[in-house]
């Protein structure tokens, strides 16, 4: 019995001791946590003080500081807003940003369903911070396109769009990068006005095409009440539409859609006002295309981008006459399977006819080919021969079309160094071909000062050397007319196997790049010459 009492007393003493230790430990933890909080606050005070002491911008007037901040505000939807980044530097910068409405004019956001409630509050706070300033808004809906099961994708509630449109009188630029039937429905009411709007991008809901009974010329999808300052329009629509805008004011126009619908929208623009065109058109209904007779003669268009399947590219080029064209881009889109048994059409004749018809003198040309492209080196030669005024040339090739000796030779000025170009480096197959074909007039791009290529390469480095030296020799001659007294080449190489090693490159080229003294370095030592060859994975 005495032993049991003694055991209980020992147990009670142990519990009391453990409890005391727990209380002491808890007090120590609380004290440490308090000390950590104090140290953390001290750390931020020291950082703030350090940044403030080292801040040279404290010496500038407030107007200059805010102007510098305004130039720094540039970001994409989904990125941390530049305003937030600037505000985290120090207290002074944060106070400046938070209290300057003009720094909140630009707003970019990617809306996500899981975070939408917080994002909705952020947008309202953002608009309030901008006070009475104009707004440049860009919104992307995460997973905005319908999924493969044809269920409608998530989009914000109608209330959100109504609140957003409450500030529409302050919009100067608005881009919605995803289709929204709710936003589309609000604009269709015609209840909103945009007195300051200069640029707009809208996505039509592909699940809501116009009825077959709608008149293409009167069907109105977006009633914008003719904004008086609107100059730039980007339309993403699978169907014909109306926008209730003053088309005679539009200078920059971009459309993605079916060929027939895109042509219908383009026909509403004023040919005399347009300065920039982006046409991403896809042919679907051949019978309807045969009925299209539209032709655009736009004397002030200086920028043109054409994207689509090869037959669409041909049809677009056939309907354009652009005498002032300076920047020209053609992008081939991947054709849907099954591939045509006779191959893909060559749109080179359409481009050559357009060049002859327009008599343009472009300064820049960019071409992106697909693996199914019918544009080979011979077609490219014809294209470049029609544009001798080029200063910049940009080529993007698929894995099946490497940069070859024949293509590189097109960059040479044939009257200088032509023997080394067309002599020992000419392929036997080409020599045999020349016996049966008339010799073409050499390509003369005397003004070319920059060539950029993205894709696989398979050429002899000696040909590249000869091309560069021919242009250098020409630059040294007094009879060589050039706007720029330099020449640069940038090759972004995609010859990579599964392990990331370069493959399929001519041995002569590899040796020139790796063996000392490096012949590439020797080229760059030449005056007014810059040649870069880099891997796409390390660009």
Q: State what percent of residues in the chain have pLDDT above 70.
A: 77
- 418 inside domain: yes
Q: Do residues 443 and 467 lie in contact, with contact meaning Cβ atoms separated by under 8 Å?
A: no
Backbone angles phi, psi at 162, to 5 degrees: -65, -45
What is the distance in angstroms between the CA of the first residue and the CA of the last residue of the chain? 86
Indicate the pLDDT class of residue 425, thresholds 50, 70 and 90. very low
302/324 Cα distance (integer angstroms)? 5
Indicate the pLDDT class of residue 432, thresholds 50, 70 and 90. very low
Instruction: Output the CA torsion sign for 236, 199, 393, 324.
Output: positive
488/518 Cα distance (integer angstroms)? 18
For residue 357, give the nearest of 365, 369, 349 by alpha carbon: 349
Residues 73 and 203 in one domain: no
Residues 99 and 136 in one domain: no
- Give the pLDDT score at 435: 43
> Which burial class, exposed, middle or buried, applies to 305 when counting CB atoms under 10 A from its CB (0-12, 13-18, 19+)?
middle
Query: Per mean pLDDT, which of 73-77, 244-248, 342-346 is the most reliable?
Result: 244-248
- 32 inside domain: no
Residues 125 and 60 in one domain: no
| Tokens encoding 32 | 């440490």
Q: Which residue has the tokens 């652009």?
A: 322
Residues 88 and 190 in one domain: no
In this prediction, residues 177-190 reach a mean pLDDT of 86
313/351 Cα distance (integer angstroms)? 9
Q: Do residues 247 and 226 lie in contact, with contact meaning Cβ atoms separated by under 8 Å?
A: no
- Give the pLDDT score at 32: 92
DSSP string, 248-296: GG--EEEEEEEHHHHHHHHTTS-TTT--EEEEEEE---HHHHHT----E
Q: Is the pLDDT of residue 160 over 90?
A: yes
Query: Per mean pLDDT, which of 142-146, 248-252, 261-265, 281-285 is the most reliable?
Result: 248-252
Mean pLDDT, rounded, of the chain: 80
Residues 443 and 496 in one domain: yes
Indicate the pLDDT class of residue 447, thresholds 50, 70 and 90. confident
Residue 531, strand partner residues: 489
DSSP string, 388-454: TT-SEEEEE--TTS-B-HHHHHTTS-TTSSHHHHHSTTS-HHHHHHHTTSPPPPPP--TT--EEEEE
- 356 inside domain: no
Residues 80 and 114 in one domain: no
- Give the pLDDT score at 143: 63
pTM for the whole structure: 0.78
- Give the pLDDT score at 306: 95
Residues 397 and 539 in one domain: yes
Instruction: Count up the domains in the chain and report the number.
Output: 3
- List Cα–Cα distances, 357 to 99, 324, 370, 371, in angstroms: 56, 12, 27, 30
Residues 90 and 167 in one domain: no
Describe the chain by its helix, strand, coil percentages, rounded to 5. Answer: 40, 15, 45
Instruction: Output the CA torsion sign for 311, 312, 318, 323.
Output: negative
- 306 inside domain: no
- 334 inside domain: no
- pLDDT digits 0-9 by tens, 476-513: 775 555 556 788 999 888 876 555 555 556 666 665 66
**3-class SS at 314?**
helix
Q: Is the pLDDT of residue 292 over 60?
A: yes
- Give the pLDDT score at 350: 93
Q: Is the pLDDT of residue 134 over 60?
A: yes
- Give the pLDDT score at 133: 92
Domain that holds residue 475: 393-539
Q: Is the pLDDT of residue 209 over 80?
A: no
Q: Do residues 478 and 421 lie in contact, with contact meaning Cβ atoms separated by under 8 Å?
A: no
- pLDDT digits 0-9 by tens, 358-406: 999 999 999 998 877 778 888 898 999 899 999 999 999 988 888 888 8
Q: Do residues 24 and 58 lie in contact, with contact meaning Cβ atoms separated by under 8 Å?
A: no
- 294 inside domain: no
Boundary (domain end) residue, out of 72, 88, 103 = 103
- 530 inside domain: yes
327/392 Cα distance (integer angstroms)? 9
For residue 240, give the nearest of 190, 287, 281 by alpha carbon: 281
Q: Is the pLDDT of residue 147 over 60?
A: no
Residues 437 and 532 in one domain: yes
Q: Is the pLDDT of residue 169 over 70?
A: yes
In this prediction, residues 242-269 reach a mean pLDDT of 87
Indicate the pLDDT class of residue 330, thresholds 50, 70 and 90. very high
Query: Per mean pLDDT, which of 267-271, 288-292, 447-451, 457-461 is the most reliable?
Result: 447-451
Q: Is the pLDDT of residue 72 over 70?
A: yes
Residues 112 and 236 in one domain: yes
- Give the pLDDT score at 207: 57
| Tokens encoding 479 | 């009879």
151/153 Cα distance (integer angstroms)? 6
Q: Do residues 521 and 515 lie in contact, with contact meaning Cβ atoms separated by under 8 Å?
A: no
Residue 517: cis peptide before it, omega within 30 degrees of 0: yes
- pLDDT greater at residue 10 or residue 322: 322
Q: Cβ contacts of residue 214 below 8 Å, gap of 6+?
A: none
- Give the pLDDT score at 15: 82
Residues 98 and 221 in one domain: no
CATH of the domain at 94: 1.20.1280
- pLDDT digits 0-9 by tens, 6-32: 777 777 777 888 888 888 999 999 999
Residues 242 and 109 in one domain: yes
390/445 Cα distance (integer angstroms)? 6
In this prediction, residues 30-35 reach a mean pLDDT of 91
- How many CA atoms does the CB half-sphere of 448 hold within 13 Å? 27
194/160 Cα distance (integer angstroms)? 18
202/220 Cα distance (integer angstroms)? 13
Q: Which helix (H) or strand (E) holds 519?
A: helix 519-524
- 300 inside domain: no
- Give the pLDDT score at 345: 79
352/329 Cα distance (integer angstroms)? 14
């Amino acid at each position: 019995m005495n032993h049991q009492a003694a055991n209980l007393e020992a147990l009670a003493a142990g519990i009391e001791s453990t409890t005391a230790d727990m209380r002491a430990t808890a007090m120590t933890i609380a004290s440490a946590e308090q000390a950590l909080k104090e140290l953390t606050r001290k750390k931020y005070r020291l950082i703030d003080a350090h940044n403030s002491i080292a801040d040279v911008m404290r010496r500038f007037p407030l107007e200059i500081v805010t102007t510098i901040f305004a130039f720094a505000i540039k970001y994409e939807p989904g990125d941390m807003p530049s305003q937030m980044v600037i505000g985290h530097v120090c207290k002074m910068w944060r106070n400046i940003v938070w209290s300057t409405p003009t720094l909140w004019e630009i707003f970019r956001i990617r809306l996500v369903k899981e975070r939408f409630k917080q994002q909705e509050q952020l947008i309202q706070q953002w608009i309030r911070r901008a006070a009475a300033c104009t707004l440049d808004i860009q919104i992307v809906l995460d997973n905005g396109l319908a999924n493969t099961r044809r269920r409608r994708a998530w989009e914000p509630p109608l209330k959100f769009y109504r609140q957003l449109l409450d500030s529409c009188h302050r919009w100067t630029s608005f881009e919605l990068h995803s289709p929204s039937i709710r936003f589309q429905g609000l604009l269709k009411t015609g209840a909103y006005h945009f007195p300051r709007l200069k640029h707009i991008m809208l996505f039509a809901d592909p699940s809501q095409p116009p009825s077959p009974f709608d008149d293409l010329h009167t069907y109105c999808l977006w009633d914008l009440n003719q904004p008086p300052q609107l100059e730039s329009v980007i339309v993403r629509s699978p169907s014909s539409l109306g926008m209730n805008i003053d088309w005679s004011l539009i200078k920059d126009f971009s459309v993605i859609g079916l060929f027939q619908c895109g042509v219908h929208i383009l026909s509403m623009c004023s040919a005399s006002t347009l300065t920039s065109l982006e046409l991403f058109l896809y042919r679907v209904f051949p019978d309807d295309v045969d009925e299209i007779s539209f032709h655009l003669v736009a004397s002030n268009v200086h920028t043109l981008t054409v994207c689509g399947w090869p037959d669409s590219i041909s049809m677009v080029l056939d309907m354009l006459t652009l005498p002032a064209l300076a920047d020209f881009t053609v992008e081939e889109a991947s054709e849907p399977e099954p591939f045509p048994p006779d191959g893909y059409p060559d749109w080179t004749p359409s481009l050559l006819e357009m060049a002859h018809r327009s008599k343009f003198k472009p300064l820049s040309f960019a071409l992106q080919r697909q693996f199914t492209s019918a544009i080979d080196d011979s077609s490219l030669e014809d294209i470049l021969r029609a544009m001798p005024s080029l200063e910049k040339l940009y080529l993007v090739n698929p894995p099946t079309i490497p940069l070859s000796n024949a293509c590189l030779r097109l960059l040479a000025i044939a009257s200088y160094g032509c023997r080394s170009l067309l002599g020992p480096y000419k392929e036997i197959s080409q020599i045999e071909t020349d016996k049966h074909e008339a010799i073409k007039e050499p390509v003369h791009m005397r003004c070319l000062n920059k060539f950029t290529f993205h894709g696989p390469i398979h050429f002899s480095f000696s040909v590249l050397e000869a091309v560069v030296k021919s242009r250098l020799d020409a630059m040294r001659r007094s009879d060589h007319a050039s706007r720029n007294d330099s020449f640069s080449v940038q090759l972004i190489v995609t010859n990579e196997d599964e392990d990331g090693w370069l493959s399929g490159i001519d041995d002569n080229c590899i040796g020139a790049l790796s063996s000392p003294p490096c012949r590439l370095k020797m080229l760059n030592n030449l005056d007014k010459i810059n040649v870069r060859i880099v891997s796409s994975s390390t660009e």
